[in-house]
Structure 1
Amino acid sequence: MQNIESHATHDLAPDLITEIVDDVSYLVSPPDVCVKVFDLIESNDASARDIGDAISHDPSLTARLLRLVNSSFFNFPRRIDTVSRAVTVLGVRELYSLVIAVSAIRSFSNLPVKLVNIDTFWRHSLYTGLISRNLGRECRILHPERLFVAGLLHDIGSLALYTRQPELMRDLLLVSDGDEAILHQAELAELGFTHAEVGAALAERWNLPEALCEAIRYHHLPAYAAEARIEAAIVHLGETLANRSEIGAFAETAAPETPVDPVVWDILELRAEDFDAAAVIGEAGNQFTDTAGLLLARA
């Protein structure tokens, strides 16, 4: 295995992460519509119509958003026909999170990744997002749709590393043999940082809320999340359960013995012995096909 510890220490990690993010940004920069919507939100005086009009300038994005809002993902009793109405029903920042989700899948799929099956990558990410949102609802977290986005994008840093460090990451994938915890540790040993930190830096470039950036940064180490410990714990649990499923496993094969970090139960105030993992996995499985058809379609 290539050893680059001599020039990839923790002291240099922030600069190296920035370099990687800069290198891939030309392919994965937020589209203009995301920038425009974010600016409108930050202005604090934009109406739902203003935001809806900005999004409507991207017909493909508009169509996917409306299909998603009217799907079983939300199960609203009445059909929502305009983006402006969706803003009113969902809230500005919740709809922005969905804009980010749809746009990020389109943008990050442009990365020339050859080390992993990109369809498997997005299935794992989507399954993690669905479980994270469902757990957020069970834990009565405000705005659980944001947890869907954190789960969906929790591994985007891996795509950047696969693109910028393909030979090293090929070695690390072989060593980890599909175990994400081992991969995380191997990245830290060889690079001085991990895909989670790169992912958080990318999320910051996309103007995701700080809590979601922190959830991505600490989804392997939720106890270390100072400001978003609950969110990080939920994404960690979501990813762990996704890896136990046939559809959402990172390694394409279910790993039913994938352990949960014990601190997660304390953070979420849940009892491991009472937690019905099979039911949680099954609920996400029921939601997966429709949501995947909306978000992961090539069109």
Structure 2
Amino acid sequence: MRKQLVFSGNYVVSKEKNIILEACLGSCIGVAIWDKEAKVGGLIHLLLPEWTGYGENTKPLIYAKTGLPIFINALCEAGADKKRMKACVAGGALIGPISQLDIDLNIGGRTSEIVQKILSDESITVCQSETGGMFGYRLSIELKSLNSSINLIADIPPQKDKDFKTPAPDDILHSINMVRPIPQIILKIVQMISDGNYNIDDVALDIKKDQVITAAILRLCSSSYLGLMEKVTSINRALALLGEKRLFKIIVSASIELYFSNPLQGYSLCKGALFHHSLGTAVIAEELAKFTGIVKPEIAYTAGLLHDIGKVVLDQYISSAYPLFYRRTQIDMAELNEAEKEIAGISHSEAGGFLGERWLLNETLTDMIRYHHQPEFATASPELAHVVYLADLLMTKFQAGQELASLDKGDIPLRLNNIGLTSSQFPAIVGLIPQHVLEGTINLPAFTH
């Protein structure tokens, strides 16, 4: 039976079908509701408790207070009756190392409370509820039978660490050297973006000569991230539709995607997850840069794309020690860099920094890659490192079910303050996440460990 993911800030309502609706939930709350007599069911994926910003709420579906009533009304319009509705609720977990901000904001708990109140006020019976805790969940509803289920996002692997051996430093160095060099044309474009120079004539011929990069660019131009209304079949057409500045971003994005194209089975829970995370982080970093005004948005976007490039180096070692990695990050709640050092002797941040040096990336980007988990240690551009850190945090927190990660949350209020933000602004900052990032097309899990 085909699965359909319901992404953050979205819902699906349907009559009887051979489809399973599924939501991957971290701190978010998922609600499945059905009416078996009317043969109607659906699922909504909520991010936050309620709108707290100024002006008009342009994203009502991400908030429980506004989104859940819309969802219930859609079920009624499809033929369901509130008197016969049943519900299943999951999510609201504290994922990864818990910070004081997590406790103070209590996003999952407050969202769950609003959901439970609305369901109670509407006299909708909750048949099953798994909220809170420390683990992410998959909430599913089978539209044929209208049966719902709640499971852990990732199956807990059997404990078998005896065969694993920490790689020697020379092994890590060899792995870094084995990563194919970044094309010179991409280095040139990255520097042009940093300089604010967007003359496509300087690089167009070289781009067209590289068939691999060209194919990747055209494929990305056809993705949901751009929302173009026509299929793009040439670089010239892409330029006409996007303009030079936007096309440069796509060229860099497509090139970085090539490094994540092989199945990476250490960190990823589903096909394409690492690139989706990097691309989403890039888009959010760009929005944060615009919001704060402390770094150039185009540079923030490029930095977001590159921040996790070190995972390409370490994935083979993480994969071979997957049970240990899972236990350390998901059960013991060890921070990601700490767990990586226990397994590989080096973190993905450090490996990425060495890779950046080998690629001759500029100091600003290399420094950001090395310190994006601990931005206060960045020296070349602490502002950029903080922006990428926050974008990475948001992407990890609100796009559960893609990869195993456990960020160093450190002193989040201090890190927010370092870029002119406050903890009270955090819900509004979440609202900056573009809808197309929340809805990003990710293939369903194609492999298991």
Q: TM-score, with normalisation over the residues of structure 2? A: 0.49
Q: Which amino acid aligns with 1:204?
A: E
Q: How does 1:87-106 map to 2 (within 5 A)?
A: 89-90=244-245, 95=248, 98-106=250-258
Give the whole-Å Cα distance in 1 for the aligned partners of 2:275 and 2:351: 17
2:434 is the alignment partner of 1:284 = yes
- Equivalent residues of 1:52, 1:84 under 8 A apart: no
**Whose strand fraction is larger, Structure 1's or Structure 2's?**
2
Residue 268 of structure 1 corresponds to 419
Aligned to 2:173: 18
SS in 2 for 1:286: helix
The gaps in structure 2 that reach 5 residues or longer are 1-160, 443-449
Deviation at 1:56, TM superposition (A): 1.4
Count of matched residue pairs? 269
Contact 1:222 1:232 in 2 (8 A): yes
Equivalent residue number for residue 51 of structure 1:
203
Report if the CA contact (8 A) 1:242-1:249 is conserved: no
After superposition, the Cα gap between the structure-2 partners of 1:192 and 1:52, relative to the gap in structure 1 and judged at 3 Å, is: same
- For the residues of structure 2 that align with 1:63 and 1:4, how far apart are their CA atoms? 39
Give the aligned partner of residue 35 of structure 1: 184
In structure 1, stretches of 5+ residues that fail to align are 294-299
Correspondence 1:94-133 to 2 at 5 A: 95=248, 98-110=250-262, 113=265, 116-117=268-269, 118-133=271-286
Corresponding residue number in structure 1 for 2:353: 200
Q: Is 2:381 the partner of 1:228?
A: yes
In 1, Cα distance between the equivalents of 2:186 and 2:303? 19
| More contact order relative to length (CA 8 Å, sep ≥ 6) | 1
CA distance in 1, matches of 2:191, 2:365: 17
Root-mean-square deviation over aligned CA pairs: 4.3
Q: Residue 219 of structure 1 contacts residue 232 of structure 1 at CA under 8 Å; is this kept in 2?
A: yes
Q: 1:177 to 1:208 in 2, by over 3 A?
A: same
CA separation in 2, counterparts of 1:248 and 1:148? 23
Change (3 A) 1:195 1:147: same
Contact kept in structure 2, 1:200 and 1:216, CA below 8 Å? yes
Q: 1:172 aligns with which of 316, 325, 329?
A: 325
Counterpart CA distance in 2 for 1:154 and 1:179 is 25
Is the CA contact 2:357–2:366 (under 8 Å) kept in the aligned structure 1?
yes
The answer to whether the Cα contact below 8 Å between 1:203 and 1:213 also exists between their aligned partners in 2 is: yes
Q: Name the larger-Rg structure.
A: 2
Question: Bigger shift: 79-88 or 265-274?
Answer: 79-88
Mapped to 1, the partners of 2:349 and 2:176 lie a distance apart of 12
Aligned residues of 2:266 and 2:322 also touching (Cα < 8 A): no
Pair 1:243–1:180, CA change in 2 (3 A):
farther
CA change 1:249–1:267 in 2 (3 A) is farther
CA distance in structure 2 between the aligned counterparts of 1:212 and 1:180, rounded to whole angstroms: 29
Q: Quote the offset at 1:55 in angstroms.
A: 0.7
**Structure 1 length-normalised TM:** 0.69
Conserved in 2, the CA contact under 8 Å of 1:124 and 1:248? Answer: no
Cα offset for 1:220?
0.9
How has the CA–CA distance of structure 1 residues 172 and 58 changed in structure 2, closer, same or farther, with 3 Å as cutoff?
Answer: same
One-letter amino acid matched to 1:123: H
Once residues 262 and 250 of structure 2 are traced to their aligned partners in structure 1, the CA distance between those partners, rounded to angstroms, is 19
How far off is 1:213 after superposition?
1.9
Contact 1:225 1:232 in 2 (8 A): yes
